[in-house]
Structure 1
Amino acid sequence: MDPNRQPQRLTRHVDRRGVLAGGLVALGLTVAATAARPLARPFAQRFGVATPVVPDAPAGDERLEQRISTARGRTVDFYTAVPAGHGAGRGLPVCLILHGGSKFPPDFSGLGLGRFVTDAVRRGAPPFVLAGASGDRLGWRPGGPDDPQRMVRAELPVWCRARGFDTSRLAAWGWSMGGAGSLLLAEAYPGLLRGVAAFSPAVVPGDDVFSGVHQLGRLPVGLWCGRDDSLYDMVRSLERALPAPPVAGGYADGRHNFAYWSTVVPAAFDFIARTLAR
């Protein structure tokens, strides 16, 4: 038995029937739990709600479990998603997810992440697995008894290996503070990752991401941000500071939310798949 497994662990296989989760008005998002079709734009237009775009693809083996994190000093949610048609994902490489400040692993299936990874493979991308765990609301910085960065580096790969995933091939993807955290992880541990995809990373010139940017070397980086995002100018400054230009990414109309980020997930997952391919 895995010593990190809580005796009464929660394992949730996602219901693939169409479900709309709550929080629509408060969050400005429609959260769809593995529905069989994309979210309807006419609904969004009718009620003036910015709606994420989720692909018309099924989720595969998608799980939400719990693990005891020594690095964080608590039990955390552990999410994984395998593309449909690839069983339990044995032998597949892993993209580590570092979330932002308002969406956590229990929200990932509702955001359609399992469906996005299936869609990427169906469009021809080499298959990979998504894996993420609960980080701190204030960032993915190291330090003290609660160290979410150490959890990602030292514990997430162990939990993934126990599931049979190939942790010799890792990438990282995050949005907002998770985008900054993904870049920090790559800077702190050169050679750990094969690539980093960052959506609207929460950075400021002179912060720890900027000061360590030289550590990225020629690591493949994908960088995306909406032009209406308050972080847009900061992200453009980060792009200029990178030791090598991003190999993927771009800028389009959009704000700091999943209504925009969902439109660039396909491009990011194509980029991640390429970096993880043998």
Structure 2
Amino acid sequence: MMNRRTLLTGAAAATAVVAAGGYARSWSAAEPVVPDVPVGDERLEQRHSRARGRTVDFYTAVPAGHGDGRGLPVCLVLHGASKTAADFPALGLGRFVTDSARRGNPPFVLAGATGDRLAWRPSGADDPQRMVHEEIPAWCAERGFDTTKLTVAGWSMGGYGSLLLAETFPRFVRAVAALSPAVPLGDEVLTHAAALRGVPVGLWCGTEDGLLPRVRELERALPQPKAAGSFSRGRHNFAYWSTCLPAAFDLVARVNA
């Protein structure tokens, strides 16, 4: 397990930190904008995943001031194709979850593991979706987190995987926050969108992102209006997604309140 000093050093080197609440930035900025707030109990461990048939990185983050997070609900985090769970500390996710609580939202913890580039789908005996559905909640329960209240958030491939998870396992998650979800043309996430009825869905996408037409198509396919989200200037990168995370976490917190 990496210690907190290592995590914070990596995060400081890789991200731009601004004052809490100061998410305004040039739409073309290259670096993520991360709240200038403390990191709480943030851990990167290794767990053996039977679903994936390998050892994976398992990440958790508790808001600063909330101890080890015992009793708090969980937001599952699904990474995109260019990142893994090992990158979450450097992306500042632990600061975003602290910021959410400090802005008055009910606190929650983040939990995610490495799914590689399988689009959060089964590939032979390697099943990252089953890992998210079965194993991550079990690992979270071992830590004392409240796994009766689960939400999911993800970007790009992870945004797609979040929607697919909610459709595949109805009532498994209470809400979905999908940032620039990489939904293929004609994919089942679009054709089976009715399975999201009753699940608050947040959708965000940059207007300079080539995926925007598909995300708008997904919005039209939802069985009810999206619960949160926006289409504003930005590209398909974490510099843009970092400006969306506060609103995404507002949705997550509101649903679990």
Q: 1:143 to 1:53 in 2, by over 3 A?
A: same
Shift of 1:138: 2.8
Counterpart for residue 196 of structure 1: 176
- Equivalent residue for 2:199, pick from 219, 231, 254: 219
Contact 2:11 2:92 in 1 (8 A): no
Counterpart for residue 253 of structure 2: 273
- Equivalent residue for 1:239, pick from 215, 219, 222: 219
Q: 1:217 to 1:56 in 2, by over 3 A?
A: same
Percentage of identical aligned residues: 63
Counterpart for residue 98 of structure 2: 118
RMSD between aligned residues = 2.2
2: CA distance, partners of 1:62 / 1:176:
23
Q: What is the number of equivalent residue pairs in this alignment? A: 252
1: CA distance, partners of 2:29 / 2:10:
14
Question: Quick check: which has more Rg, 1 or 2?
Answer: 1
Return the structure number with greater relative CO, CA threshold 8 A, min gap 6: 2
2: CA distance, partners of 1:202 / 1:104:
16
- Tell me the SS of whatever aligns to 2:60: strand
Amino acid at match of 2:157: M
Q: 1:21 to 1:269 in 2, by over 3 A?
A: closer
2: CA distance, partners of 1:31 / 1:214:
39
2: CA distance, partners of 1:54 / 1:16:
18
Deviations 1:76-121 (A, max 9, x none): 0000000000000000000001100011111111111000000010
Q: TM-score, normalised by structure 1?
A: 0.86
2: CA distance, partners of 1:17 / 1:160:
20
Q: Are positions 1:206 and 2:186 aligned together?
A: yes
Counterpart for residue 59 of structure 2: 79
1: CA distance, partners of 2:65 / 2:195:
37
Deviations 1:223-268 (A, max 9, x none): 0000000100110010001111101001100000011000111011
Q: Are positions 1:13 and 2:11 aligned together?
A: no
Q: 1:174 to 1:71 in 2, by over 3 A?
A: same
